[in-house]
Amino acid sequence: MKKKFSKPLITTIGIALLAIGFVACYAPQEEPTDLAATAFIPKPMSVTATAKSFHLNDKTGIEVQNAELEKLGNDLAGKIKAATGLDPVVQVKEESPSYRTIYLSLQPEAELGEEGYQLTIEPERIVLSANRPVGIYYGIQTLLQTLPAPGGPAHPGPFIVPTGTIRDMPRFAYRGVMLDVARHFFSVDEVKQYIDYLAEQKINYLHLHLTDDQGWRIEIKSWPDLTKIGGSLEVGGGPGGFYTQEEFKDLIRYAGDRFITIVPEIDMPGHTNAALASYADLNCDGKARELYTGTEVGFSSLCVPKEITYQFVDDVVREIADLKPGPYFHLGGDESHSTGLPDFIKFVERVRGIVRSHGFIDIGWDETAQTALDDQSIIQLWASADFARKAVEHGTKLIMSPATKTYLDMQYDSLTPLGLHWAAYIEVDQAYEWDPTTLFPGIGAENILGLEFPLWTETVTDLKDLEFMVYPRLLGLSEISWSPKEGRSWAEYKDRLASYIPRLDAQGINYYKSPKVDWPE
C-alpha cells in the first residue's frame, strides 16, 4: 500500500530543508585549523587547539571592558589595520561582549601573575584577559602572530584565526637587550624602531649603554661639555651625536607605551675617555685627554682620589633620575684595567651609594661583585662566573648575559662581515641551545632575575647592521627568557623559526640567513 504523506508533514520537511540549506550557505566555512601549529615566538606556556576558526573581517569590532584598556584597544586596532587593511571600531563595553568581537578584559587570576594572559579564541569571539594591562599587551602580541605581518602583500580576507586557548606567562621577570649607542650613535628614530621590534618578542627592558671612551650620548645640563665635546665623534671618526634630555624623556615614554623600561648606563670608572676629554678636572693629572675613535678598551679611568669625581657622578645620576627612566641605574664597572683594584672597589662602593641615594637600584657588570655586596644590588654576568658566584653568596640577583651565548655583536661564523669573535662565534643554533640555569655550576634559577642580550657597536654602524646581528638570534634568545624550559629543542624550534621568517621579510628586516635553518623560498 502506498503511504501518503500528510500536507503539514511535507511543509515541515520543506522548511527543514530550507533551513539546512540556509545554514549551509551562511555558516562560516569551517576549515580545520590548528592553533598549536602557529609559529609563535616566543612560544606560549600552553596552547590548546579546538580546530575551528574565527573569521576576522570588516564586521569584527574590538570591545574593551573599561576606559583603562581603550588605549590598548586602539593599539590593537592600529596593528590589525597595518596587518590586514581592516579598520575595527573600538568600544568600551563593561558587560558581556558582542558577537564577532575581540574583547579585552582585566580579570583577576592569580595563576597568571603580573604579566600573564589568557587568549580564548572561539568562532563567535576572541577574549583576551589578564590581571594587568601589560598582560593584555603581551596577549595582543601573540594574537597578532596569527595574522599576516604588517607591511605584507594586500589580502582581501577574511582572515582566519585558528580557535583554541592560549595561557601564557614569562619564565623570567627581566627580559632585556642592551644597545651600545656610545661606539656608534643611534638616533631617537632608530632606537624607536628597535623598541617596536623588541615589543613583538615581549622584551621588557632596554639597557642603553650611554657613555664610553668614544662618546658621551646624554645631555647633562650641569656639565654641558660632556655632549658638546664628548658627544661629537664616534668609532671611525664620524659625527657622533647625543640625546637631549627632552629626547631621552621621549624615548622613555615611547618605550613605556610598549611596556619596555629604559635602563640607563653610565659606564665608570673605566670606559670614560669621552668624559676625560670633555673636562680636564676629571683627570688625575688635570689634563684633558684627546677624543678617541678607535676600538681598544681598558685605557681610561676617572680619578678615584679626587673629590670632584663624586660631585660629577652625583650631578650625572641626579639629572638622569629627574628624567624618571625606571627603577634601575647601571653604573658599568667593566674592564677598568687602568684603575687599581683597591681604587676600583672604593670607587664602585661610593658610586653605588650615590646611585641609591637617588632612588635607583644599582646594576653593575660582573667585576663589581668584587665589592661589598648586599641583596639590593644586581650583578650582570658577562664574563666571569666566579664573580657572579661571589654575588649570589650575598643574595644578589643576576642578569645573565654570558658573552659566549648572548652577545649579539659576536659573529655568526668566521665569514660574518660584521662583529667580533673574542668570546665565540655564535650561530643561530648556539644562541638557542643553552639554558641560563644550567650553564654555570652554583648558579641556578633562584639566583637569576633574567636575561639580557647586548649589542656592542664597534662594527655596527646603523639600523641595517643592527638588524643583521640581532636577527634571527634575538628570536631564540627571547624564547629562552620567556618560555618554559621544558620541551625546548632546536629541532622543533628551527622549523618554527623558518615559518616565522616571512614576518621579518614583510617588515623589511635585514636578517642573517643561517645555513642551520631551512629557509622558506
Q: What is the CA radius of gyration of the chain?
A: 27
335 binds ligand TNX (CB under 6 A): yes
- Residue 176 CB, shortest distance to ligand TNX, in Å, is 14
| Binding-site member from 168, 200, 409, 427 for ligand TNX (CB under 6 A) | 409
Cβ neighbors of 359 (< 8 A, separation 6 or more) are 321
Residue 446 designated active-site: no
Between 297 and 418, whose beta carbon lies closer to ligand TNX? 297
User: Could you tell me whether strands 174-180 and 448-455 are parallel, antiparallel, or unpaired per DSSP bridges?
Assistant: parallel
Site string for ligand TNX, 355-374 (x = CB under 6 A): ----------x---------
Between 360 and 407, whose beta carbon lies closer to ligand TNX? 407
334 binds ligand TNX (CB under 6 A): yes
The full DSSP string for 405-444 is HH-TTB-SSTT-SS-B-SS----HHHHHS--TTTSSTT--
- Residue 54 CB, shortest distance to ligand TNX, in Å, is 46
Cβ neighbors of 186 (< 8 A, separation 6 or more) are 179, 194, 457, 462, 463, 466
234 binds ligand TNX (CB under 6 A): no
385 binds ligand TNX (CB under 6 A): no
382 binds ligand TNX (CB under 6 A): yes
Between 301 and 483, whose beta carbon lies closer to ligand TNX? 301
Question: Annotated catalytic residue: which of 234, 335, 427, 467?
Answer: 335
465 binds ligand TNX (CB under 6 A): no
The full DSSP string for 258-284 is TT-EEEEEEEESSS-HHHHHH-GGGST
Site residues (CB under 6 A) for ligand TNX, limited to 260-299: 297
- Residue 458 CB, shortest distance to ligand TNX, in Å, is 6
- CA-CA distance, 305 to 284, in Å (whole number)? 8
Site string for ligand TNX, 26-65 (x = CB under 6 A): ----------------------------------------
176 closest CA partner among 486, 482, 501: 482
CA separation (Å) from 90 to 43, 86, 475?
A: 28, 12, 31
- Residue 74 CB, shortest distance to ligand TNX, in Å, is 40
Site string for ligand TNX, 435-464 (x = CB under 6 A): ---------------------x-x------
H or E element at residue 78: helix 70-84
| Binding-site member from 361, 420, 424, 439 for ligand TNX (CB under 6 A) | 420
- CA-CA distance, 426 to 409, in Å (whole number)? 9
Between 104 and 469, whose beta carbon lies closer to ligand TNX? 469
Number of residues that bind ligand TNX (CB under 6 A): 10
367: left (phi over 0), alpha (psi -120 to 50) or beta: alpha
- Residue 431 CB, shortest distance to ligand TNX, in Å, is 15
Phi, psi for 505 (deg, rounded to 5): -60, -45
Between 47 and 455, whose beta carbon lies closer to ligand TNX? 455
The helix/strand/coil state of 182 is coil
- Residue 442 CB, shortest distance to ligand TNX, in Å, is 21
443 closest CA partner among 388, 369, 384: 388
219 binds ligand TNX (CB under 6 A): no
H or E element at residue 168: strand 159-168
Q: Report the interface residues with ligand TNX, using CB under 6 A.
A: 297, 334-335, 365, 382, 407, 409, 420, 456, 458
Residues tagged active-site: 335
